[in-house]
Structure 1
């Protein structure tokens, strides 16, 4: 029987997985969630003998039930191939008492590749299944990594166009150059004079605009999303938590009956929600440790049950987490209020009108799986410095936020069980911040001289993703105010 999906704001509307992937966002502005969380029937021992691609099939077939075996295996095999610089797709590296799950071995050296390598295949397969005649317009807001990964995934994919909005002064120089040099006749990149939340709000507004939808349809287009609001982004992210548990079990690090903790640097809440779903599948995961930077809206939420975006927006050295509206939290809110879409919708309305909401005591009691904390800029920098000096292992700023919060968790709880830290980006993506943390002398160096020096001290080859932008030509130069985003979309689509 097919697993159906409902909106977090109206669970009376039911769609299939392929329909949810195509739409991206529900008509009412809600996010699609599975009507139930399935259980994995394959043991850890069996999973431990499987390749990443085989594990992906076992997980994804439970959520994407209207895909045939042939369709799903086609999507998986085309996504997880030589685009990744390791046969294992994701790697586990032990350093300083934790296992770092390296999710940056894909084409754009960030964890977004893990899902955005497969989303174009899931989307085009969904379009065929549902006899869609329009071209799909991928409309996406990025805080840095989603943009390039989505652009790379959809570049020149027939029947699609992709428009990415990013905060002009809110991403790293490497992140920006990766996006602005992206080739492909169907790609468009727009820098907005604002922050990520404004970009994300503008995208959601266009998704909810029924008049715009009619204009697009008349011109032969329809919107979909590559953000983690799309269930086709979230489901593939569950895979690497299952894979890491299976690998650790296979290698003898995780024993029968033992559980592990997972630490995730968190902005939009999608990556840690995927770990929560993996736990619900039956993975031996205990605590889900939610690590925030100085934009600590999630830390405050887990501390007191109030989500409050009414605060200063801080630009940090971990820009992919510079977010005050964590969209995917809505999926968790829906679940802990007993799948009550009216209650969930009322919380989101409060967030939209007042900028905050407070969950009930009964809902708070269901957050015991989670622990939240945050790292300051100084702590993030020190964590990079300390880990490098102690072990020679170099991590990026986002991973450092997670590693610092993990240390705080252990100090506070004395819980020393095996822990996996999601390493969400290569240090080469945030070279200046990483190298400045290691030694202030690097502050005056050129960006690409820093790349070469990082390669030398970390004893790691410069990734292809960096080499290819070293002398690449800028091909996108559009910029606009947040209230002109729709005009930018119409101009690109000639409507």
Structure 2
């Protein structure tokens, strides 16, 4: 039986996988989720010897079954090859008493590469499968990493354009430089005078604007999304949780069927939701540790059932987690309501109008898969310093959040800390933590050389090429001008 996808806001709005991927966000404002999860044989005595590509094919073909296995295999082979600096693609390493899943071996040295390497192939194949002749316009907001990885994936892909909005003063120097030097005739990068939540809200508004939608159709264009609101971005992330478990079985660190924990640095809730989906298809997971930074809205939600975005927004050393509206949480809420689109709609409308909602005690009882906590700026710095001192292993600030929060959770279950970025993406934070001093005068490109000397980790190719790269984008707008900028760039009348 085929796996269909329904909107969290209207269960009657059902699509095939390719239709849902193509659309990105449901027309009713909801997110697409599987009507039923596929049945997958996770035999780890067999899978322990499988390559990343083989496991990705297994997962993606099960969820996206309107593509043939041959089609999926071809897309997987194109996505997970020479762009990654290790044949393992997502290796697991032991660091002290726990393990680290390294998701930063792609060309933009962040975990977004894992899904955004394959999304362009899924998108163009979906357009072909549904006989769509419109130009696909990828419209996305980024808190730092999605933008670069999406642009790298979609650059010069025929019949597509990509527009990325990012908070001008809310990303690292390396992150910004990666975006502003991105080549591609179909690429447009826009800084905004605001934060990620404002950018994401404006993007969602554009997706749901019927007048703009009609203007796009008249011009032979249609929107789609590259962030984890798109099911085509989310499901590929399930694969690396299965692959990580297989690696632990392969090395004898655990036995097949033994439960493990994952500690995940969490902002928009997509990465940890993929782990939750992995558990739903049978991955032996004990607890999902939801790790936040000072913007700890998710910590409060999991501890109290109260989601409240009416709080101060902090710009932190882990900018990809500087988020107060975690979009993918809507998919979990839908699950907690026993797939009630009416109840989900009610809660998410309250978030939009009042900035908060409270789930019921019955819903809270279903959150036992999760534990949550957060790390302060001081704790992040200390975690980076201590891990290097004790284990000679360098963490980026996001991974340090997950590592610190894991240590607060005293469960003896084997645990994998999910590492979402290379330390070279945030050299100022990491060098300051390792040297216990502030690098006030140095720029990020001087600091990566310092980090290389301290850590003896070779400088990634992505960073080496960046310093000399030419800046190609310089547009900055107010949040209120985002739609006008989209219409200008696309020459909409």
TM-score of Structure 1 vs Structure 2, range by shorter chain:
over 0.9
Helix, strand or coil at the partner of 1:444: coil
Partner of 1:142: 142
Mapped partners of 2:243, 2:440: distance in 1:
38
Q: 2:422 is matched with which residue: 419, 426, 433? A: 426
Mapped partners of 1:446, 1:492: distance in 2:
32
Mapped partners of 2:489, 2:402: distance in 1:
39
Give the 5 Å matches for 1:321-332. 321-332=321-332
Give the 5 Å matches for 1:403-482. 403-410=403-410, 415-439=411-435, 440=437, 442-482=439-479
The list of structure 1 runs, each at least 4 consecutive aligned residues, that deviate by more than 2 angstroms after superposition, is 441-446
Contact kept, 8 Å, 2:3 with 2:37, in 1: the verdict is no
Contact kept, 8 Å, 1:436 with 1:443, in 2: the verdict is no
Contact kept, 8 Å, 2:139 with 2:224, in 1: the verdict is yes
Partner of 1:69: 69
Contact kept, 8 Å, 1:39 with 1:280, in 2: the verdict is no
- Note the alpha carbon deviations across 1:39-89, whole angstroms, 9 max, x for none: 321301111111000000111111101011121111111000100000010
Partner of 1:227: 227
Aligned-residue RMSD, C-alpha: 0.8
Partner of 1:333: 333
Contact kept, 8 Å, 2:116 with 2:226, in 1: the verdict is yes
Aligned length: 491
Partner of 2:187: 187
Partner of 2:56: 56
TM-score normalised over the length of structure 1:
0.98
Give 1:458 shift: 1.5
Unaligned runs of 5+ in 1: none
Give 1:32 shift: 0.2
- Note the alpha carbon deviations across 1:2-58, whole angstroms, 9 max, x for none: 110000000011100000000000011000000012232130111111100000011
- Note the alpha carbon deviations across 1:103-140, whole angstroms, 9 max, x for none: 00001000000000000000000000000010000000
Mapped partners of 2:135, 2:251: distance in 1:
46
Mapped partners of 1:103, 1:296: distance in 2:
23
Give 1:446 shift: 3.0
Partner of 1:19: 19
Mapped partners of 1:453, 1:37: distance in 2:
48
Give the 5 Å matches for 1:171-320. 171-320=171-320
Partner of 1:494: 491
- Note the alpha carbon deviations across 1:401-455, whole angstroms, 9 max, x for none: 0000001112xxxx11110010000000000011111111544333212111211
Helix, strand or coil at the partner of 2:12: strand
| Range 170-179 or range 249-258, more displaced | 249-258
Give 1:189 shift: 0.3
Mapped partners of 1:81, 1:107: distance in 2:
11
TM-score normalised over the length of structure 2:
0.99
Helix, strand or coil at the partner of 2:11: strand
Give 1:256 shift: 3.6
Contact kept, 8 Å, 1:140 with 1:165, in 2: the verdict is yes
Mapped partners of 2:23, 2:158: distance in 1:
18
